[in-house]
Chain A
């Protein structure tokens, strides 16, 4: 009998094209997602070498990182941004790649629209020139972020060179308590694993807690795998996945047959992983990052750590450096931290479920007078759905800005940025120095926690919120 295999083993084995002597294996890539920032040099490389895109029909593009989130009928004010978006258009036209362009009803953050349109499917290998490609693993796909040279390689060959990563089971038992979300869970896990604990591994999230999560929540969890250093994160497909897939634009035509194949993907009983960590969902409370990487995180009922109390000199140095940048004193209770800005958006937390959670919190409240807050839906579809449900009205009545879809202040490449020293409660995934604007200070939280902070002007424990 064949030895039991993990989800990773199965997808890997299926996609190895060849492992020539003395070379890294070539892995077939089923779907390639492309955006404007990491692709122009790759297309240019193809052009210079006289190569073409091997499978244009497996390649999908959208502008997201650099796009304005204000009125789309106006021309793009930033000439350099415009050039990058124009370049994507020209490249897609020249190489026959399907583009969900600015103004297209389905444009959005690449990691939101892939699953939303059914382009992402269980059992597939998926790559994108973006480190949060792990998001797609939530559907039971093996999804990697790659660099631009690799983008060019995939465009030309539909394969990538890759040594097989090691497998890492992250099992979460129990259920999340009310008010504790998938975002809190993944931030908490990153805090446990550290920013490099997952390096060299593909994380597979398992256990009762993960099984109880909806697709949107699973995407939030997989999305942040890279923040623990893992190039990919995945969750075995189940009934939740199949229900999500059914009826999506690019879902397989013979859906029932596809489901039969997908049902064979989950890890076999007795399959072993290179590393296993077992956590309990009971230990997770709403999380807030206090530092300049996502592993620098603590419960909302906790305090900013005191560098002086740390044993290791390296830790002391990096904590003091982070606190200095963040303008925080060690020992400060998280609930005492006042904020200036709120950003609800990004591929981590800008799906309809996220917006519903945030709108539920702000319903009947106003944004604090000291705070500027914005909501940036993850895609055109999310935006329309939210408007049908009247969420835009809830946000606007509370004083939030309601924007067009894009990455926006997750990375601040477009005009949506923090000013130096401004402090932001953000639902995005990175709190690196300057990530949201030079000198800006980012605290990562869940959508509900961000919404509550917008109303109160400082962090509050969402578990005590009075919903109106």
Chain B
């Protein structure tokens, strides 16, 4: 997995709550058997008009969001299905972090598996970020944020700095780009002992 330490990038402000995984990646694109190539289908039904051309009204298609790598959204981002295709599509499109006031549990976990940081800030802080992004958009300049996982901090270059919380284990794995399964297999003796204690056929480690 690609490590994540700190990242500065353009913000795409998606001013919606309850963005569900069916919107992030519609089901017609779940038939692929690879982990890659989902970015082209990200937010498909919102991003493209029926004739296949980009929908100019959609937040990601606005000029100020061009090249965005930080996604800003309202509460309960990533609700719905467990499909990891959702973080795959976001990451493949280029996003390295998603900032929202709350996330659905499964999506939140899935992000960490894909080198992407889900950042939880208060509703007020998120509102402030939307305000700042809007000011920049009105002036025709992109809005940039830095997500610093080492310091657990989000900041811009105009005085906004907030710390965020992240599970220390998930943070360490992401900072170092560790292989989760490899880490767990280091405890294979404990797993085998548990199985033996519960009368399950022991499997050679």
Q: Which of A49, A145, A158 contacts B191 (CB 8 A)?
A: A158
Q: Are B33 and A40 in contact (CB under 8 A)?
A: yes
Check B168 for interface membership: any CB of A closer than 8 A. Answer: yes
Q: Are A200 and B169 neighbours in the complex by a CB distance under 8 Å?
A: no
A-B contact count (CB 8 A): 166
* A168 smallest CB distance to B (angstroms): 13
Report the Cα distance A415→B108, complex, angstroms.
31
B185 touches A157 (CB 8 A): yes
B residues apposed to A, CB below 8 Å:
16-18, 20, 22-23, 26-28, 30-35, 45, 74-76, 79-84, 87, 102-106, 109-110, 113-114, 167-170, 172, 180-181, 183-185, 187-188, 190-191, 194-195, 198, 200-201, 203
Assembly CA distance A22 to B187 (angstroms): 14
Q: Which residues of B contact A51 (CB under 8 A)?
A: 181
Of B32, B169, B203, which is within 8 A of A23 by CB? Answer: B169
**Closest 5 interchain pairs by CB?**
A149-B113, A40-B33, A147-B84, A147-B110, A148-B84
Query: Which A112-157 residues have C-beta < 8 A from chain B?
Result: 129-131, 145-150, 152-153, 156-157
Segment 156-210 of A: residues with Cβ below 8 Å from B:
156-159, 161, 163, 195-196, 199-200
**B175 CB to nearest chain A CB (Å):** 13
Query: Which B residues lie within 8 Å of A412 (CB)?
Result: 27
Indicate whether A411 reaches chain B with its CB closer than 8 angstroms: yes
CA distance A130 to B167 in the complex (A): 24
Give the bracket for the number of chain A residues in contact with chain B: 35 or more
Whole-angstrom CA separation of A457 from B188 in the bound complex: 59
- Contact check, A26 vs B22: say whether CB atoms are below 8 A apart: no
Q: Which residues of B contact A156 (CB under 8 A)?
A: 181, 184-185
Seen from chain A, the residues whose Cβ lies within 8 Å of a Cβ on chain B are 17-18, 20, 22-24, 26, 28, 37-38, 40-41, 44, 49, 51, 54-55, 57, 65-66, 78, 80-81, 83-84, 87, 129-131, 145-150, 152-153, 156-159, 161, 163, 195-196, 199-200, 226, 229, 231, 293, 314, 318, 321, 411-413, 430, 432-435, 438
Residue of B nearest to A439 (CB): B45
Kindly list chain A residues whose C-beta atoms are within 8 Å of the C-beta of B102. Answer: 196, 199
Distance from B84 Cβ to chain A, minimum over Cβ atoms (Å): 4
Contact pick for B181, options A41, A147, A157, A229, CB 8 Å: A157
**Is there contact, CB below 8 Å, between A22 and B168?**
yes
CA distance A360 to B40 in the complex (A): 47
